[in-house]
Structure 1
Amino acid sequence: MKHFLLVEDEKILAKNIAFFLEREGYKVDIEYDGEAGLIAYNTHAYDLILLDWTLPKKDGLEVCKTIRKESNIPIIMITAKGEIYDKIIGLELGADDYIVKPFDQREMLARIHALLRRNENGNNEKSNDQWLEYEGLKLDREKLLILYNHQNIELTANEYKLMEILMKKPQNVYSREFLYEEVWGGLLGYNERTVDVTISRLRKKLMELSGKKFFHAVRGLGYRLGGN
């Protein structure tokens, strides 16, 4: 049984979400503030975290940033903030998805399923297909790691999927629309900044790992991994 952590300070909403997900066959732990959420995260092994944006003691962004320093666990931000700038901040700090209040519980469930599938697909590759390689970069398709000169960095589910697409054919140019559909599955409602922010996060990780610039923006078209 998949085990989720829900950190949400609106108690009625939290209990309604937990009740719905438990009916769908998931186990859900609820915490009502950011500090308690981090304690629960450090105490138990979870498969996914649903994290409210505004929380007492530590806000959701701070909690997300702390978790991302050590784990690639799938994180969905729950927020009442509709502005795209706020959503971008969440993605920059490592959230995999976001959902804006008020939301339909079936939409939330669809996003959870999509994110779990992406994460599990990354972890369930056959061992003989474990590696993708390009100019010293190695993508570990079992552990969701990117390696360079024996150093490695963990990837989130969305970062992994982007790297897999681009490393398979590094000279190909992929449009933002294509990458969005392949990685996010159309659930968010297309916004090119969603792709840009995740690419930016990956570019920073690869620069820290290798000292090299691998991602290249092609004006008016999209992105490719290889070339100058």
Structure 2
Amino acid sequence: MSKLLLIEDDRALSDLLSEYLTSQGCDVEQAFDGLSGLRQATSNNYDVILLDVMLPHLDGFEVLKKIRLSHLTPIIMLTAKGDDFDRIFGLELGADDYLPKPFNHRELLARIHAISRRIEFVKQTEQHDQLLSSSHVTLNIAARKAAVNNHLLVLTGTEFSILQKLMSNIGDVVNKDALSQHVLGRRLAPFDRSIDMHVSNLRKKIAKYSDIQCIQTIRGSGYVFLAE
């Protein structure tokens, strides 16, 4: 069972989603404004947080930024339909995925299940001590830690999974659709920039401690982690 926090100020929609997700086996807690949502998110443990952008007292972006200061809980942003700025900005701030309103309840459940499967895979992987290393980047899969020149990186779960996928295939091109299915559990839709934004965030974090460009874009295909 996934324990979820739904932060949504539309009480009718929140109750509807909560009822549906509960009927599907999820344990759902609700918050109706940004401040109370932030308090709940940072004082309890959740498997996934569903976060609306337009919230009273504290908007979804501010809530996201403050959560990411201390928590790496997977976050799915609920954005306005067609608002590319909200989606891209949310991904830049550390959201794991987004879903534009209005959305199908079953699609939301599928996104939650995809993240839950990734979490379960991580738990299984943690049973084995496995290290991936190339030049200045080291990945401790068991501990879910990444370091660049011995400097610890603070990565979201999605960023770590992307880095793990690329480093597990050093020197080989991993296409964007394969990355999307691996880390988000879904095929990449046309004009979907989710993977691009996650890789961009990952590059920025690595660049803080190294001048070496280890993740190369292969135009029209995907990405490759360069061998030493």
TM-score in terms of structure 1 length: 0.90
**Structure 1 moving runs of 4+ over 4 Å:** none
* Structure-2 residue corresponding to 1:84: 84
2: CA distance, partners of 1:178 / 1:41: 31
Moved more, 154-163 or 48-57: 154-163
Q: Are residues 90 and 188 of structure 1, via their aligned partners in 2, closer, same or farther at CA, if it must alter by over 3 Å?
A: farther
In the alignment, the residues of structure 1 paired with residue 209 and residue 174 of structure 2 have an alpha-carbon distance, to the nearest angstrom, of: 24
Asked if the contact 1:74–1:119 (Cα under 8 Å) also holds between the matched residues in 2, the reply is no
Tell me the secondary structure at the aligned position of residue 216 of structure 1. Answer: strand
Q: Which residue of 2 aligns with 1:119?
A: 119
SS at match of 1:79: strand
TM-score by length of 2: 0.90
Contact 1:216 1:227 (C-alpha < 8 Å) held by counterparts: no
Deviation of 1:139 (Å):
1.4
Give the fraction of aligned pairs with identical amino acids, expressed as a percent.
Answer: 39
SS in 2 for 1:217: strand
Which AA in structure 1 matches 2:197?
V
Alignment of 1:75-224 (within 5 A): 75-186=75-186, 189-191=189-191, 193-224=193-224
Residue by residue over 1:90-136, the C-alpha shift from the partner in whole angstroms, topping out at 9 and shown as x without a partner, is 11111111111111111111110001111231232054343221113
Query: 1:128 aligns to what SS in structure 2?
Result: coil
Secondary structure, aligned partner of 1:19: helix
- In the other structure, the counterpart of 1:34 is 34
Within 1, Cα distance between the matches of 2:45 and 2:126?
24
- CA shift, 1:162, in A, is 1.1
Distance 1:213 1:13 in 2: 45
Query: Size of the alignment, in residue pairs?
Result: 228
Cα distance between partner residues in 2 of 1:197 and 1:169 = 20
**In the alignment, which residue of structure 2 is the partner of 1:51?**
51
Mean Cα displacement is larger for which, 85-94 or 212-221?
212-221
1:227 Cα deviation after fit: 5.2
Structure 2, unaligned stretches of length 5 or more?
A: none
After TM superposition, the structure 1 stretch with the greater mean CA deviation from structure 2, 205-214 or 91-100, is 205-214
1:104–1:86: structure 2 CA closer, same or farther, 3 Å change rule?
A: same
Q: Please state whether the residue corresponding to 1:223 is helix, strand or coil.
A: strand
d(CA) in 2 for partners of 1:209 and 1:123? 29
* Paired residues of 1:79 and 1:98 also in contact (CA < 8 A): yes
Superposition RMSD in Å:
2.1
| Structure 1 spans left out of the alignment, 5+ residues | none
